[in-house]
């Protein structure tokens, strides 16, 4: 997937912007507050219809304006087929169009493109609790297997219903019925997570060697399904049985605490730096590197499973990376074969023959091509 044309009206600090990105590498630099993150936010918004900064739509409207408009033309890698996506906010009203047709539901819109983002806060997946990692990986899995999103929603609903039953000390037969339903969905979620992480492990090693870390693989990831035996076992039946056994073991404790104590909501994805927990040992730059490698691995996974490359947005890429790593990171991203948008406050420091791409300078709410 490539973004070939972007138009903004009254989006954040841009009264008006028209941009023709490069199909490969786009390096965007400018001073603090010039509008770099806003530009990536617009691209992300076009495909996800929300901000990666979790900002409300109103915040994306230029101060003092009554509404905003964003439009992007995306082209598919294989067929070259083009899709125009448009989103307009006017007061409280929103309108979305795909190829000039107004849409009722959002699903056909959201499926039209896929944009993967790395921004400084993404690094929190290393330091923060398991929830941030579950969100990060579940989102990546859902991007390649939409059924994962449906199951995650069904699971959240069943879990809250079962917890409600436990809280009200309902009949155990009732709780049992919900338990069976919950186990069904939970097992599917766990199987997908296991498969995904198994596949990601090899990919990470490969990417790390591409990136040129000379001391062998340093980053790794492991999925721990709480209360289930470890290992790479992926058979759904076995996982269901494992969950049954865990549920039985915890039944009395659950009755006492009036809440469900097992299932994918209690699992964690452990990140390692040189075989130790990354959150304990990795430096700031190493945490960043870990995260960028994971984002790239997700992109590769997407490319292989969907037969389409995602668009990769990397906000404020260079900060915290030393000059050597920064340069290797740019060359590495240039080699992924996906369209990338990279922002920085510094000039790229690459010569024209090192990477095939375009450099833009952001200044006074304008994005000017400078190569």
Ligand X SMILES: Nc1ncnc2c1ncn2[C@@H]1O[C@H](COP(=O)(O)OP(=O)(O)OP(=O)(O)O)[C@@H](O)[C@H]1O
Binding residues (CB under 6 A) for ligand X: these are 12-13, 30, 32-38, 59, 61-63, 316, 345
* CB-nearer residue toward Mg ion: 53 or 328: 53
* CB-nearer residue toward ligand X: 59 or 164: 59
State how far the Cα of 351 lies from the Cα of 53, in Å rounded to an integer.
33
- Determine the size of the site formed for Mg ion (CB under 5 A): 1
Looking at residue 123, the DSSP 8-state letter turns out to be G
State how far the Cα of 360 lies from the Cα of 35, in Å rounded to an integer.
12
Q: Taking Cα atoms as reference points, which of 363, 329, 359 lies closest to residue 22?
A: 359
| Closest distance to Mg ion from the beta carbon of 73 (Å) | 25
| Closest distance to Mg ion from the beta carbon of 362 (Å) | 10
Helix, strand, coil percentages, rounded to 5, for the chain? 45, 25, 30
Q: What is the dihedral of CA 159, 151, 97, 70, to 10 degrees?
A: 70
Kindly identify the residues of this chain, within the stretch 11-70, that bind Mg ion according to CB under 5 A: 37
* CB-nearer residue toward Mg ion: 37 or 298: 37
* CB-nearer residue toward ligand X: 5 or 121: 121
Tokens 């969100």 identify what position?
A: 135
Given ligand X, Mg ion, none, residue 13, with its beta carbon under 5 to 8 Å by kind, binds ligand X
State how far the Cα of 314 lies from the Cα of 28, in Å rounded to an integer.
10
* CB-nearer residue toward ligand X: 186 or 317: 317
Query: Looking at beta carbons, which residue is closest to Mg ion?
Result: 37
Q: What is the 3-state secondary structure (H, E, C) of 22-75?
A: CCCEEEEEECCCCCHHHHHHHHHHHHHCCCCCCCCHHHHECCCCCEEEEEEEEE
* CB-nearer residue toward Mg ion: 37 or 309: 37
Is 298 a residue that touches Mg ion (CB under 5 A)? no
Q: Taking Cα atoms as reference points, which of 11, 22, 30, 41 lies closest to residue 313?
A: 41
| Closest distance to ligand X from the beta carbon of 55 (Å) | 8
Give Cα 324 distance to the centre of its chain. Answer: 26
| Closest distance to Mg ion from the beta carbon of 42 (Å) | 13
Given Mg ion, ligand X, none, residue 33, with its beta carbon under 5 to 8 Å by kind, binds ligand X
Residue 46: CA count within 13 A, CB half-sphere: 30
Given ligand X, Mg ion, none, residue 348, with its beta carbon under 5 to 8 Å by kind, binds none
* CB-nearer residue toward ligand X: 222 or 361: 361
State how far the Cα of 18 lies from the Cα of 357, in Å rounded to an integer.
18
Q: Taking Cα atoms as reference points, which of 155, 154, 128, 152 lies closest to residue 140?
A: 152
Given ligand X, Mg ion, none, residue 123, with its beta carbon under 5 to 8 Å by kind, binds none
Contact code string over 90-109 relative to Mg ion, x by CB under 5 A? --------------------
Residues 220 and 275: beta-carbon distance below 8 Å: yes
| Closest distance to ligand X from the beta carbon of 9 (Å) | 12
| Closest distance to ligand X from the beta carbon of 361 (Å) | 11
* CB-nearer residue toward ligand X: 286 or 315: 315
Given Mg ion, ligand X, none, residue 12, with its beta carbon under 5 to 8 Å by kind, binds ligand X
The residues that touch Mg ion, with contacts defined as CB under 5 A, are: 37
């Amino acid at each position: 997937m490539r973004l070939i044309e972007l138009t903004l009206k009254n989006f954040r600090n841009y009264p008006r912007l028209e941009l023709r990105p490069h199909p490969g590498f786009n390096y965007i630099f400018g001073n603090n507050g010039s509008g770099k993150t806003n530009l990536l936010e617009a691209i992300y918004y076009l495909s996800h219809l929300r901000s990666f900064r979790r900002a409300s739509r109103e915040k994306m409207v230029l101060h003092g304006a009554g509404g905003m408009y964003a439009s992007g033309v995306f082209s598919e890698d294989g067929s070259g087929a083009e899709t125009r996506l448009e989103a307009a906010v006017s007061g409280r009203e929103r309108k979305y169009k795909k190829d000039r047709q107004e849409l009722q539901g959002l699903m056909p819109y959201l499926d039209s493109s896929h944009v993967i983002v790395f921004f400084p806060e993404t690094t929190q997946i290393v330091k923060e609790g398991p929830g941030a990692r579950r969100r990060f990986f579940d989102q990546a899995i859902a991007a390649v297997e939409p059924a994962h999103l449906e199951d995650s929603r069904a699971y959240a609903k069943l879990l809250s219903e079962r917890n409600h039953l436990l809280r009200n000390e309902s009949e155990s037969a009732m709780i049992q019925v919900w338990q069976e339903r919950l186990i069904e969905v939970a097992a599917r979620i766990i199987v997908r997570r296991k498969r995904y992480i198994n596949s990601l492990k090899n990919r990470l090693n490969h990417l790390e060697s591409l990136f040129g870390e000379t001391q062998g693989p340093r980053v790794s990831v492991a999925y721990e399904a709480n209360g289930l035996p470890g290992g790479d076992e992926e058979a759904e039946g076995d996982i269901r049985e494992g969950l049954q056994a865990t549920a039985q073991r915890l039944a009395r404790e659950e009755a006492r605490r009036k809440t469900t104590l097992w299932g994918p909501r209690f699992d964690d994805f452990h990140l390692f730096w040189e075989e130790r927990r990354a959150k304990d040992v990795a430096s700031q730059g190493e945490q960043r590197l870990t995260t960028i490698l994971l984002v790239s691995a997700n992109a590769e996974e997407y490319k292989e499973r969907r037969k389409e490359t995602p668009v990769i947005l990397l906000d404020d890429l260079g900060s915290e990376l030393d000059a050597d790593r920064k340069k290797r990171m740019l060359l590495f991203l240039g080699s992924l074969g996906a369209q990338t948008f990279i922002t920085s406050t510094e000039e790229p420091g690459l010569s024209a023959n090192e990477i095939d791409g375009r450099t833009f300078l952001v200044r006074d709410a304008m994005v000017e091509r400078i190569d």
